[in-house]
């Protein structure tokens, strides 16, 4: 297949082109709201938003915050700000109120758009404007509500601000007790990060992509929201994953690409639903990212549902680091680096390592993020030689990247390095284990000890002795968990990633 050439375009140009070529085709379908919006409607509304921001005097370096759940309206504002050329900073609606105020203090937006169903103490952060929003297609009649206000603004706009080197987005990573980190990305990265997915996953205007993850994450922005827009595909965008509604979402919308995360695959294995790929002939594959998916569970899911899973991995800082080709997958890997990214495997002295040797993943390229937002609102740029991810891994002979752990997660027991992923992977091989996790915990003698946490499959039984005996078949004694805790569920962050603070708290409570 001949490789397509992509030259940088701003959001306004893309919206204008797609309104012309796709017109009345549906861009966003909301199964929760029971409505949709077309490409030409999206362009017109985004232009009204741009004219509103222009009247308010916003510049290319002006920041705008957006707080709301997944909805057509939220995405219209997200794209509308980018269409104008100011900086959009989406904030996770599930963050604590205190973290929202802290994020606002760091981001320093001039305008805060928020879903009118939410309430905030506007004295805690004094923006130039706090503007609520409701339905884009129903006039609220409220004088201060955004879509009511926009009725008086022109749907014609043709003077976007900014260059490819200006900041486009501030995306805040998930936090626990600490304040989430803000990652700034340029307009060039905002353009090329989604194209990494378009290129590798072969997304076209014929595709219908289903996603249900929070729009404020970088991953849905670069896997579904923007790839759909850039290609003229249709995005089916739900508020949250629903196990019971998932089959009808796929069938009713003739979905071709469905986004997945390990927590969803594990749920569908534990609580099966009546669905098989033959029921959805349109479906090409599901993706898996956000957290590691064990090969064992991938194969179980594919056997049960007949749906192939395509793995990839990335981060808010880097965009995509690796993506498998759906037609040439390599199980256990995140695939080769995408088209607009270079991934190096470096040792402690920053020397590049040969294939097969483990080192830290360092990422560079024009789709890399720019840097972190500091507490005083400035941008601390990533090093020019690349972003050090903290991920450990290696490349195989085909150039595919295999992630083996995190540098900071390595357990140092008596001076010996132990990979939690290795132990967890073997625990998952036990027939009674549904889910497992391993962390390092403080130990007065050895510095750190190995602690594992296990969720058993429904109806299955196993005790600590059985698990330890299972471990002895594969791993040496010094790696065997000192403590094993049986849980009803593994604590996770709102992004379905393992919550190490949550596990440590459980361990401390059981000492």
Give DSSP secondary structure letters for 356-417: T--EEEEEESTTS--EEEPTTS-EEEPPTT-EEEEEEEEE-TT--EEEEEEGGG-EEETTEE
Q: What is the pLDDT of residue 175?
A: 46
Residues of the chain with CATH 3.30.300.30: 410-509
| CB-CB contact of 186 with 166 (8 Å) | yes
Q: Give average pLDDT by consecutive 10-residue segment, the chain, 511 residues.
A: 80 98 98 98 99 98 97 99 98 84 94 96 95 94 94 97 97 66 96 97 98 95 98 98 97 98 90 96 96 88 98 95 96 96 96 96 96 91 94 96 88 84 92 94 86 94 95 90 95 82 90 70
Three-point CA angle 10, 180, 186, nearest 5°: 20
C-alpha 216/C-alpha 169 separation (Å) is 10
- Which residues 6+ apart lie within 8 Å of 300 measured at CB? 269
Helix axes 464-472, 420-427, angle to 10 degrees: 110
C-alpha 141/C-alpha 339 separation (Å) is 48
| CB-CB contact of 372 with 366 (8 Å) | no
C-alpha 404/C-alpha 371 separation (Å) is 25
Which among 258, 261, 300, 310 is positioned nearest to 279, based on CA atoms?
A: 258
Q: Could you give the C-alpha distances from 381 to 77, 87, 321, in angstroms and in order? A: 27, 17, 19
- Which residues 6+ apart lie within 8 Å of 145 measured at CB? 116, 131, 132, 133, 134
The residue length of the chain stands at 511
Mapping DSSP onto H, E and C, the string for 155-195 reads: CCCCCCCCCCCCEEEEEECCCCCCCCCEEEEEHHHHHHHHH
Tens-place pLDDT, residues 35-47: 999 999 999 999 9
Rg (CA), the chain: 23
Which among 59, 55, 107 is positioned nearest to 85, based on CA atoms?
A: 59
Tens-place pLDDT, residues 226-268: 999 999 999 999 999 999 999 999 999 999 999 999 889 988 9
C-alpha 44/C-alpha 24 separation (Å) is 12
Strands 234-237 and 26-30: parallel
C-alpha 306/C-alpha 491 separation (Å) is 29
Three-state DSSP state, 378: coil
Q: What is the pLDDT of residue 476?
A: 87
C-alpha 348/C-alpha 345 separation (Å) is 10
Which among 49, 169, 175, 167 is positioned nearest to 101, based on CA atoms?
A: 175
C-alpha 316/C-alpha 190 separation (Å) is 11
| CB-CB contact of 362 with 387 (8 Å) | yes
Q: Could you give the C-alpha distances from 263 to 291, 351, 400, 493, 495, in angstroms and in order? A: 9, 36, 24, 11, 10
Quote helix, strand, coil % in the chain, to nearest 5: 30, 25, 45
C-alpha 171/C-alpha 181 separation (Å) is 8
| CB-CB contact of 511 with 504 (8 Å) | no
Instruction: Classify domain 11-395 at the CATH topology level.
Output: Rossmann fold (3.40.50)
C-alpha 127/C-alpha 345 separation (Å) is 44
C-alpha 93/C-alpha 174 separation (Å) is 11
Biggest distance spanned by C-alpha atoms of the chain? 72
C-alpha 449/C-alpha 443 separation (Å) is 6
CATH code of 410-509, in short, is 3.30.300.30
- Which residues 6+ apart lie within 8 Å of 125 measured at CB? 101, 104, 105, 112
Residues of the chain with CATH 3.40.50.12780: 11-395
Three-state DSSP state, 490: coil
């Amino acid at each position: 297949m001949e490789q397509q050439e992509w030259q940088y375009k701003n959001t306004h140009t893309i919206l204008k082109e797609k309104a012309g070529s796709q017109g009345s085709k549906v861009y966003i379908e909301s199964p929760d709201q029971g409505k949709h919006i077309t490409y030409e409607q999206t362009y017109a509304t985004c232009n009204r938003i741009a004219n509103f921001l222009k009247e308010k005097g916003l510049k290319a370096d002006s920041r705008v915050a957006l707080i709301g759940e997944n909805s057509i309206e939220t995405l219209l504002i997200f794209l509308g700000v980018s269409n104008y050329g100011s900086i959009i900073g989406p904030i996770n609606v599930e963050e604590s109120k205190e973290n929202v105020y802290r994020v606002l203090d760091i981001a320093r937006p001039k305008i805060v758009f928020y879903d009118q169903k939410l309430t905030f103490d506007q004295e805690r952060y004094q923006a130039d404007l706090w503007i609520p929003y409701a339905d884009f297609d129903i006039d609220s009649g409220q004088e201060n509500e955004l879509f009511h206000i926009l009725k008086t603004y022109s749907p014609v706009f043709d003077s976007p601000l900014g260059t490819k080197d200006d900041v486009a987005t501030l995306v805040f990573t998930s936090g626990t007790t600490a304040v989430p980190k803000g990652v700034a990305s340029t307009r060039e990265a905002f353009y090329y990060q989604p194209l990494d997915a378009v290129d590798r996953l072969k997304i076209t205007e014929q595709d219908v992509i289903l996603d249900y993850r929070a729009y404020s994450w970088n991953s849905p922005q670069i896997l579904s929201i923007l790839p759909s827009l850039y290609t003229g595909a249709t995005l089916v965008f739900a508020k949250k994953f629903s196990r019971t509604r998932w089959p009808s979402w796929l069938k009713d919308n003739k979905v071709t690409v469905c986004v997945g995360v390990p927590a969803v695959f594990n749920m569908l294995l534990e609580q099966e639903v009546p669905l098989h790929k033959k029921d959805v002939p349109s479906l090409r594959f599901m993706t898996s990212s956000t957290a590691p998916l064990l090969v064992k569970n991938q194969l179980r899911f594919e056997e049960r549902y007949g749906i192939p899973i395509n793995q990839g991995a990335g981060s808010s800082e880097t965009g995509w680091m690796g993506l498998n080709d759906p037609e040439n997958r390599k199980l256990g890997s995140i695939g080769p680096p995408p088209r607009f990214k270079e991934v190096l495997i470096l040792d402690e002295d920053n020397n590049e390592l040969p294939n097969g040797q483990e080192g830290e993943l360092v990422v560079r390229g024009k789709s890399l993020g720019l840097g972190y937002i500091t507490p005083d609102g400035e941008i601390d740029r990533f090093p020019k030689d690349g972003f050090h991810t903290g991920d450990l891994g290696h490349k195989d002979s085909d150039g595919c990247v295999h992630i083996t752990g995190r540098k900071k997660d390595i357990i140092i027991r008596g001076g010996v390095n132990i990979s939690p992923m290795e132990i967890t992977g073997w625990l998952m091989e036990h027939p009674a284990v549904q889910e497992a996790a391993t962390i390092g915990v403080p130990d007065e003698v050895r510095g750190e000890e190995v602690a594992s946490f296990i969720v058993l499959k429904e109806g299955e039984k196993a005790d600590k002795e059985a698990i330890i005996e299972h471990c002895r078949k594969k791993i040496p004694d010094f790696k065997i968990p000192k403590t094993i805790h049986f849980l009803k569920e593994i604590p996770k962050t709102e992004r379905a990633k393992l919550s190490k603070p949550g596990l440590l708290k459980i361990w401390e409570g059981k000492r």
